[in-house]
């Protein structure tokens, strides 16, 4: 038996499942279009008419209008309650149905009608609030244009997005939106992703780079090869994942369920006891009436909807700012975060490393060192590898039998020579020890190159700190949250970058599994979040109380595995989503507290006859309306703490956008980040 009330997640007592699905998916556009509110208005009119007619002396006619009002008000929940009762489901609607029928049986038509009016209003407002938040999420799909221009058989044709197939070539003119995901075949442009990632700075894009559904072409005309059908585009996946997330229960919601579920049958037993004992000690009709009032007073409808509605509002609002929060559990944990552990590369840094210096040993040249390194890195997708390949300026020779040693480096064969490339420590720096130390102190990542067990040289690669990183870290500290850096890079480089960002706790030279083990000591008993790229940091993301993937737009692994996925590349979205989750958790606790307080106060007052049915109904439904209104507040953005201006950090709302990147685990280089 459940404690179902009005929420969309559980079987309802007020309407059929089909009706509730219609509410959740296609909720009325206007408040007056909500069925429950229409019936409540009709019942209120009939009740007022009956009261006026009764005053004129036609009491029987007035009673008839009052009875009709009770029927109209009860039509929103009585039929569904009876159907659920046949399925052995007892919920809040069952209590209300018993109270309404009992009031009619006792001749209290006005009270029965008032119960129907107020309960219907509360249900209608809840359905409207849920429908409105879901419409806001579904509106993301409205970013997809109704038609797409496609080049087929050398002719341009207009097709519906659902007709696009992988391999089609879309033509995007300036100002047009992409109908699905694809890769630019020809042309250069700037893409506006603000509606998807929450970042307002356009992203420069050219051949070979990704275009996501809903992106606006802000530059020249481009041709895009379709890589996913519209139904499986990144935008469609976002909407689907968030809709699923809204239905996931957090600990607060489970707490509300644990309280509400046994409360319903318990209330029914209490009402029977009150009626039975009262019948023995006093007038049976008086105590039966009080038992009915207790049924209404103890109804946990406000408690049952207090957390689910807050989750729906908060998760939907977060998704519209580029943050995917995977349900109530993740939202609640995110609201309790006390420590944030941050990966270095791609999170604190731009993930656009470049070679800043090449140091050969005596007898070797810079070109020789770079060529050998490029031969090993030619098939790697690691960011440091790309920096080395970019520095060569030409297609390098490719080494054979290249093998990655995760956390250390690469080894392979080229022209009968054995090559190694990796981090200092795995390869001894020898005569370059002082140069390596100096470069690391300057914040560069250094890799050493060895040929036939002889040191050939060192290459320094630096990935610049994100301009907004110091501001974001300050805002995190302003929320009372500690920060730490976890990285596989060397201690000197990590410390230099952490100092620039404003992070004092640094743990460097960590393997992926070391990062996961480090989290428990960092948390100090507090809830801890790990922020990374969703691939190389997978063990730490899974171990943390909340795993947060950074720059996850279009990245299946990051979106699916992380508890929270930040779709954009601006680190300032991190303190924003932390503040939003804290606010939502406060709203949850307020709603649960208010709901329990109302039940606790009303039960004794109803049992001893201090409050009648009409008064209890009014107070109870007013509390439900307050819970609904408070839950909607969870969708509002919360201002971040004021922080001192940080040199080099841009002010919001402009955001620093970049191309999302992923790194397959063990893909090469030294995994030093």
Residue range 229-248, pLDDT digits in tens: 988 887 787 777 666 655 55
H-helix segments, 56-193 = 59-74, 78-86, 92-105, 109-138
Locate tokens 């797409």: which residue?
148
Buried-exposed string 33-43: b where 16+ CB fall within 10 A, e elsewhere: ebbbbbbbbbb
Three-class secondary structure assignment of 314-331: HHHHHHCCCEEECHHHHH
Three-class secondary structure assignment of 599-657: HHHHHHHHHCCCCCHHHHHHHHHHHHHHHHHHHHHHHCCCCCCCCCCCCCCCCCCCCCC
User: Which two tokens mark 456?
Assistant: 């050939």
Please list, in sequence order, all residues whose beta carbon lies within 8 angstroms of the beta carbon of residue 258, skipping any fewer than 6 positions away. Answer: none
The stretches in the chain having pLDDT less than 70 are: 1-29, 31, 91-92, 126, 129-142, 194-201, 241-261, 381, 383, 534-536, 552-561, 641-673
Element (H, E) at 435: helix 433-441
User: Which two tokens mark 15?
Assistant: 């309407």
| Separation of CA 199 from chain center | 16
pLDDT digits (tens, 9 = 90+) for 18-41: 334 444 444 455 767 788 888 888
| Among candidate residues 620, 480, 497, the one with its CA nearest the CA of residue 111 | 620
Is 463 assigned a catalytic role?
no
Under DSSP, is residue 452 helix (H, G, I), strand (E, B) or coil?
A: coil
First to last CA, the chain: 52
Long-range contacts of 287-290 (CB under 8 A, 24+ apart): 288/102, 288/106, 289/102, 289/106, 289/108, 289/613, 290/606, 290/607, 290/608, 290/609
Please list, in sequence order, all residues whose beta carbon lies within 8 angstroms of the beta carbon of residue 237, skipping any fewer than 6 positions away. Answer: 556, 559
Whether the bond between 472 and the residue before it is cis, its omega within 30 degrees of 0, is no
Q: Considering 168, 343, 533, 545, which one is annotated as catalytic?
A: 343
Element (H, E) at 44: helix 35-55
pLDDT at res. 657:
33
- Output the furthest CA–CA distance in the chain (Å, rounded): 116
pLDDT at res. 243:
63
Residues 156 and 662 sit within 8 Å (Cβ to Cβ): no
Angle at 540 between CA 534 and CA 541, to 5 degrees: 45
Distance CA 117, CA 124 (A): 10
User: Which two tokens mark 411?
Assistant: 């080894």
pLDDT at res. 73:
85
H-helix segments, 190-250 = 194-197, 234-246
């Amino acid at each position: 038996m459940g404690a179902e009330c009005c929420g969309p997640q559980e079987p309802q007592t007020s309407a059929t499942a089909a009706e509730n699905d219609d509410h959740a998916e296609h909720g009325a556009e206007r408040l007056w279009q909500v069925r429950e509110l229409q019936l409540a208005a009709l019942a209120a009119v009939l009740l007022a008419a009956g009261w006026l007619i009764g005053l004129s002396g036609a009491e029987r006619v007035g009673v008839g209008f009052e009875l009709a009002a009770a029927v109209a008000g009860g039509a929103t929940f009585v039929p569904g309650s009876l159907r659920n009762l046949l399925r052995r489901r007892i919920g809040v609607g069952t209590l209300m149905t018993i109270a309404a029928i009992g009031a009619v049986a006792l001749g209290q038509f006005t009270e029965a009608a008032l119960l129907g009016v107020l309960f219907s209003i509360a249900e209608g407002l809840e359905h409207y609030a849920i429908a409105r938040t879901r419409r806001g999420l579904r509106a993301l799909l409205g970013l997809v244009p109704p038609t797409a221009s496609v080049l087929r058989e050398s002719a341009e044709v207009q097709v519906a997005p659902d007709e696009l197939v992988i391999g089609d070539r879309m033509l995007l003119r300036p100002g047009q939106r992409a109908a699905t995901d694809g890769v630019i075949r020809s042309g250069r442009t700037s893409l506006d992703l603000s509606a998807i990632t929450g970042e307002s700075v356009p992203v420069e894009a050219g051949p070979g780079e990704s275009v996501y559904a809903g992106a606006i072409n802000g530059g020249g005309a481009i041709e895009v090869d379709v890589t996913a059908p519209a139904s499986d585009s990144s935008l469609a996946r976002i909407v689907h994942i968030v809709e699923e997330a809204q239905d996931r229960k957090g600990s607060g919601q489970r707490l509300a369920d644990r309280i509400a579920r046994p409360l319903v049958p318990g209330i029914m037993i209490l009402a029977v006891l009150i009626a039975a004992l009262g019948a023995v000690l006093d007038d049976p009709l008086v105590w039966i009436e009080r038992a009915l009032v207790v049924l209404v007073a103890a109804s946990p409808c406000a408690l049952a909807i207090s957390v689910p509605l807050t989750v729906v509002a908060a998760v939907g609002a977060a998704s519209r700012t580029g943050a995917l929060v995977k349900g109530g559990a993740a939202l609640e944990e995110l609201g309790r975060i006390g420590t944030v552990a941050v990966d270095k590369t791609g999170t604190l840094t731009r993930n656009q490393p470049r070679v800043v210096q090449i140091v050969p040993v005596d007898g070797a040249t810079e070109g020789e060192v770079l060529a050998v390194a490029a031969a090993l890195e030619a098939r790697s997708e690691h960011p440091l590898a790309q920096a080395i390949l970019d520095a060569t300026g030409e297609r390098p020779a490719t080494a054979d039998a290249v093998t990655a040693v995760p956390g250390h480096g690469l080894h392979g064969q080229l022209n009968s020579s054995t090559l190694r490339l990796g981090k200092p420590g795995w390869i001894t720096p020898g005569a370059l020890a002082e140069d390596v130390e100096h470069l690391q102190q300057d914040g560069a990542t250094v890799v050493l190159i060895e040929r036939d067990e002889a040191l050939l040289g060192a290459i320094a690669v630096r990935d610049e700190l994100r301009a907004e990183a110091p501001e974001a870290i300050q805002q995190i500290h302003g929320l009372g949250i500690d920060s730490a850096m976890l990285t596989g890079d060397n201690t000197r480089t990590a410390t230099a970058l952490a100092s620039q960002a404003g992070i004092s706790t640094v743990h460097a030279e960590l393997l992926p599994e070391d990062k996961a083990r480090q989290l428990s000591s960092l948390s100090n008993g507090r809830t801890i979040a790990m922020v990374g790229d969703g691939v190389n940091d997978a063990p730490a993301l899974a171990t943390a109380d909340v795993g947060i993937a950074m720059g996850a737009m279009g990245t299946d692994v990051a979106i699916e595995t992380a508890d929270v996925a930040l779709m954009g590349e601006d680190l300032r979205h991190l303190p924003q989503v932390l503040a939003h989750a804290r606010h939502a958790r406060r709203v949850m606790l307020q709603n649960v507290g208010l709901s329990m307080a109302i039940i606790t106060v009303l039960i004794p007052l109803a049992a001893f006859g201090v409050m009648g049915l009409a008064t209890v109904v009014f107070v109870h439904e007013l509390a439900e309306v307050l819970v609904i209104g408070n839950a909607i507040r969870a969708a509002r953005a919360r201002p971040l703490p004021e922080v001192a201006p940080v040199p080099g950090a841009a002010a919001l709302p402009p955001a620093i956008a970049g191309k999302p990147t992923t790194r397959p685990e063990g893909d090469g280089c030294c995994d030093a980040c």
